[in-house]
Structure 1
């Protein structure tokens, strides 16, 4: 089984403090979230966490889009 980086690690590559892009803002905010599941890869576990704990995420569709990009990057 090939190594796959965590979603958080992927998300950190999307940070950009000067961007108004929703995924960049999600990444910026997730970086400051001390309880974000940093080792997680599972869509369901990440989704559950964000729905309950991420007041900084204005729409779960932003997570869905970021997770889809993550999956595409990880399928090599």
Structure 2
């Protein structure tokens, strides 16, 4: 999936899978496919709580290096 992303692409941040979430996923805006999971964020617990309470988040791709995608997550 990383090879299909470019700097500046927007991703939807959602709990995944929706019915019984076990992770936070970044989904492509166009197809809704999972581009990857959110890891390494210092506030991952806070992000999960906010998503569970219905707050919306998007991310912007800022770097793509091989299969590693770096994003900036923003509340919408």
TM class by shorter-chain length?
Answer: under 0.3
Q: TM-score, normalised by structure 1?
A: 0.25
Q: TM-score, normalised by structure 2?
A: 0.25
The structure whose residues are more often strand, as a share, is: 2
